[in-house]
C-alpha cells in the first residue's frame, strides 16, 4: 500500500495524528529531500527508513518502487512541505500504482494554497489552480489564458520572481485586478497583502519578500 502523506508547510504542529502514525508504521518513507524530512522525523521521534524520491530520479525509480509495493512493502510518500504531487513530485508514482492496482491512500492535510485562497477575501465558490507559471516557453500563452479565466485563480511563485510575475500579470490582466500575496504560511513571519496588482507590485518592489509565495487573483468579469 502507498500512503500519500501531507507534511507541514511551516509550523511543525500542522500535522495530523494519523499522519504521524502512518509515518511510524510503514516500512519505508519516500522523501523529496531526506535532510528536510529528518528535521520532522527527529521532532516526532520517527525512526522509519527514508529514501530520496524527487523530480530528478522519479522516472528511474518508479518501476522498482512498484515492484517493492507488489511484494508487500508498505510505503509513505512525502514532500518537503504540503501534499505530494501538488507542484511537487508524486504523480508518476501514484499513476503507476493505480495502473498496477496497488492501493493508494491520500491523507488529508496541509496544502499551501488553501489557507492563502481562503485568506484572500476573493470569491472562492469556484477557483482554478495553475501552480508555477512557465519560466520561458509557454509563459505568454499561459498569461493569455489567465487573462480569460473567470474564476479566482491561484499561482505559486518564488520570492525572487514575485515582482516580475506581478508586473506580467498587471500588464496582461490590467493594473486594477484585485489580488493577494501570501508568504511564509504557518510560519512566524506569515503575511498576506491584498490590493490591486499594481499596488502589490509597488509594495514588493520596495519590500523584497522572503519565503514561499502564493498569489491569488480575481477572475475576469
C-alpha to C-alpha distance for 47 and 45, rounded to whole angstroms: 6
**The C-alpha cell of 199 is what?**
499596488
Query: What's the 3-state SS for 30-45?
Result: EECCHHHHHHHHHHCC
Question: What is the pLDDT, as a whole number, of residue 58?
Answer: 86
Banded pLDDT at 130 (limits 50, 70, 90): very high
C-alpha to C-alpha distance for 181 and 158, rounded to whole angstroms: 12
Question: What is the pLDDT, as a whole number, of residue 87?
Answer: 86
Burial class of residue 216 in the structure, from the number of CB atoms within 10 Å of its CB (0-12 exposed, 13-18 middle, 19+ buried): buried
Torsion sign (Cα): 129, 134, 135, 138: negative
Torsion sign (Cα): 13, 15, 16, 19: negative
Banded pLDDT at 57 (limits 50, 70, 90): confident
Burial class of residue 37 in the structure, from the number of CB atoms within 10 Å of its CB (0-12 exposed, 13-18 middle, 19+ buried): buried
Average pLDDT of the residues in 113-121: 95
Name the residue ranges covered by the structural domains of the chain. Answer: 2-106, 113-217
Quick: pLDDT tens for 169-193: 999 999 999 999 999 999 999 999 9
Query: Residue 106: pLDDT above 90?
Result: yes
pTM of the model: 0.90
Quick: pLDDT tens for 85-98: 998 889 999 999 99
Question: What is the pLDDT, as a whole number, of residue 209?
Answer: 93
Query: Residue 137: pLDDT above 90?
Result: no
Q: pLDDT higher for 14 or 135?
A: 14
**The C-alpha cell of 119 is what?**
485568506
Task: Write out the H or E segment, with its range, that includes residue 179.
Answer: strand 178-183
Question: What is the pLDDT, as a whole number, of residue 94?
Answer: 97
Query: Looking at domain 2-106, which of 3.30.1340.30, 1.20.140.10, 3.40.1010.10, 3.30.2310.20 is its CATH number?
Result: 3.40.1010.10
Percent of the chain with pLDDT over 90: 91
C-alpha to C-alpha distance for 108 and 15, rounded to whole angstroms: 10
User: Span 113-217: which CATH code?
Assistant: 3.30.950.10
Amino acid at each position: 500500500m502507498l500512503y500519500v502523506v501531507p507534511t507541514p508547510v511551516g509550523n511543525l504542529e500542522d500535522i495530523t495524528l494519523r499522519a504521524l502514525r502512518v509515518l511510524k508504521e510503514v516500512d519505508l518513507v519516500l522523501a523529496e529531500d531526506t535532510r528536510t524530512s529528518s528535521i520532522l522525523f527527529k521532532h516526532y521521534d520517527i525512526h522509519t527508513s527514508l529514501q530520496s524520491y524527487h523530480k530528478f530520479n522519479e522516472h528511474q525509480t518508479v518501476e522498482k518502487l512498484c515492484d517493492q509495493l507488489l511484494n508487500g512493502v508498505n510505503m509513505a510518500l512525502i514532500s518537503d512541505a504540503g501534499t505530494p504531487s501538488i507542484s511537487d513530485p508524486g504523480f508518476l508514482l501514484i499513476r503507476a500504482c493505480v495502473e498496477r492496482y496497488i492501493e493508494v491512500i491520500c491523507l488529508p492535510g496541509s496544502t499551501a494554497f488553501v489557507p492563502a485562497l481562503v485568506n484572500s477575501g476573493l470569491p472562492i465558490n469556484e477557483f482554478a489552480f495553475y501552480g508555477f507559471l512557465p519560466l520561458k516557453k509557454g509563459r505568454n500563452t499561459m498569461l493569455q489564458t489567465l487573462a480569460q479565466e473567470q474564476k479566482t485563480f491561484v499561482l505559486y511563485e518564488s520570492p525572487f520572481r514575485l515582482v516580475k510575475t506581478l508586473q506580467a500579470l498587471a500588464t496582461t490582466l490590467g493594473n486594477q485586478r484585485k489580488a493577494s500575496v501570501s508568504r511564509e504560511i504557518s510560519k512566524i513571519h506569515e503575511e498576506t497583502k491584498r490590493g490591486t496588482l499594481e499596488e502589490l507590485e509597488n509594495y514588493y518592489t520596495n519590500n523584497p519578500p522572503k519565503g514561499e509565495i502564493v498569489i491569488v487573483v480575481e477572475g475576469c468579469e
